Amino acid sequence: MRFATKAVHSGGEPDKATGAVSPPIVTASTFAQDGIGKPRGYEYSRSGNPTRERLERAVAQLEGGKHGLAFSSGLGAITTVASLLNKGDHVIMCNDVYGGTFRLFDRVFSNFGIRLTRIDARDPDAIARAAKKSTRMVWLESPTNPLMLVLDIRAISTVAKKLGLLVVVDNTFASPYLQNPLKLGAAVSLHSTTKYVSGHSDMIGGALAVSDEEVYERLKFLQNAMGAVPSPFDCFLALRGLRTLHLRMDQHSKNALAVAENLQASRRVAEVYYPFLPSSPYHRLAKKQMSQGGGMVSFRIKGGYAAASRFLDSLELFSLAESLGGVESLAEHPARMTHSSLPEKERRKMGIGDDLIRLSVGVEDTVDLVEDVKQALDSV
Ligand SMILES: Cc1ncc(COP(=O)(O)O)c(C=O)c1O
């Protein structure tokens, strides 16, 4: 079955009891049992819920994994994966990650004795150089947030496998439609389903896809033991989003490429970060591991913070807002918004300056979006 068919049918099969073609939202917290120790399939919704299971199955199928797990937020999924680690374990993380991921390791898991080394993972051999006896995990994002670097997931996974390290890829920016990290050798593919998976900026959620049975069993245990599970209603919203993921991602990618090309042509723009621009240093690699570029575009505007602020104020169709992946276009200033939780030194090291703007290009008409960006640049 091809992706579009799986997207429409995975998790959306007619309900066995009623024939309903839209997934029923089972809100029950607990389930009647046929006798002591004889549950009919479900016991308590933290450990298992029919609506959540549909979503988990769908995520697994769309990612090409054996198992899926759903969470109450992307960070809930990240926290659960990080809880595979023990005191004294060491993690290698790519430099450019979502600020909340770095904050969690830097300010929470460090208190439990988990140590972190950040590296420029564009060189896969940097993994071997940073690895210690205590290293257990490699944490990647690709494309990265917000600089749109593309990391070679297959090459990194090959190096990591030789060292016995678990590779986790935050696949939020690409979505399961554009990239499948498990097929490239990663052990865990992670999503903030808040973004492209649900796609309408109306819920907060997270998900994992895995194939290794042992890793799955440990994560399943942690999901129940830690309790960061999503509500059935949010699972329904994520399932509904998945059914149109391919259609939305096609339009996001088409619009983002057009916006990126127009930004590149502007004398007011210093640099554009979009891996599917032929001029991008990541173009070849991106085309190898992704089917399209997705909806995220970042760029540096000439004139620093003042120009960035004027540009953002002048946009009419793009709302100034954090988050990404919804049908509507959004724009934001990473240094003062999504990545403000990073210490300034970290931000500078990563290259997140006051001139950087990140766009989440929506699914509106391509020409309207390009015209909006042009008029906002003209207003700077
Ligand atoms: C790449 C990435 N991963 C994870 C997260 C965290 O997800 P959530 O906000 O659903 O907790 C975000 C949020 O912006 C993100 O951009």
pLDDT tens column, 161-180 = 999 999 999 999 999 999 99
pLDDT tens column, 58-117 = 999 999 999 999 999 999 999 999 999 999 999 999 998 888 999 999 999 999 999 999
Q: What is the mean pLDDT of residues 348-375?
A: 95
Per the annotation, the verdict on 282 as an active-site residue is no
pLDDT for position 190: 98
Band of pLDDT at residue 246, cut at 50, 70 and 90 = very high
Residue 74 CB less than 6 A away from ligand 1: yes
144 pLDDT above the threshold of 90 = yes
CATH number at residue 62: 3.40.640.10
Domain endpoint, select from 242, 273, 290: 242
pLDDT averaged over the chain? 97
Give the largest Cα separation in the chain, rounded.
73
DSSP state at residue 43: S
Can you give the pTM of this predicted structure? 0.97
Q: Give the domain extent around 366.
A: 245-378
Q: Are residues 55 and 120 in the same domain?
A: yes
Kindly report the CA angle at 370 between 365 and 373, in degrees rounded to 5? 130
The Cα 336–Cα 63 span in angstroms is 33
Number of domains in the chain: 2
Other CB atoms closer than 10 Å to residue 111's CB: what's the count?
7
Band of pLDDT at residue 357, cut at 50, 70 and 90 = very high
316 pLDDT above the threshold of 90 = yes
Q: What is the mean pLDDT of residues 134-145?
A: 97
Q: Percent of the chain at pLDDT above 70? A: 100
pLDDT for position 328: 98
The H or E element containing residue 137 is strand 135-141
> What does the buried/exposed string (b/e) look like for 190-204 if buried means 16 or more CB atoms within 10 Å of the residue's CB?
bbbbbbbbbbebebb
Q: Are residues 163 and 296 in the same domain?
A: no
Q: Are residues 73 and 28 in the same domain?
A: yes
Higher pLDDT, 52 or 346: 52
Q: Are residues 305 and 357 in the same domain?
A: yes
- The minimum-distance atom of ligand 1 relative to the CA of 193 is 10
- The minimum-distance atom of ligand 1 relative to the CA of 172 is 1
Q: Are residues 312 and 193 in the same domain?
A: no
**Residue 192: beta bridge partners?**
206
Domain endpoint, select from 185, 219, 242: 242
Band of pLDDT at residue 345, cut at 50, 70 and 90 = confident
Nearest CA residue ID for atom 9, ligand 1? 74
CATH number at residue 352: 3.90.1150.10
Q: Are residues 200 and 301 in the same domain?
A: no
The H or E element containing residue 331 is strand 330-332
pLDDT for position 361: 98
- The minimum-distance atom of ligand 1 relative to the CA of 204 is 10
Band of pLDDT at residue 260, cut at 50, 70 and 90 = very high
pLDDT for position 270: 98
Residue 145 CB less than 6 A away from ligand 1: yes
50 pLDDT above the threshold of 90 = yes
The Cα 132–Cα 144 span in angstroms is 25
Residue from 192, 198, 322, 360 whose mutation best tests the ligand 1 pocket (most atoms within 8 A of CB):
192
Contacting residues for 80 by C-beta, under 8 A, at least 6 apart: 69, 71, 208, 219, 222, 223, 226, 228
Residue from 72, 75, 340 whose mutation best tests the ligand 1 pocket (most atoms within 8 A of CB):
75
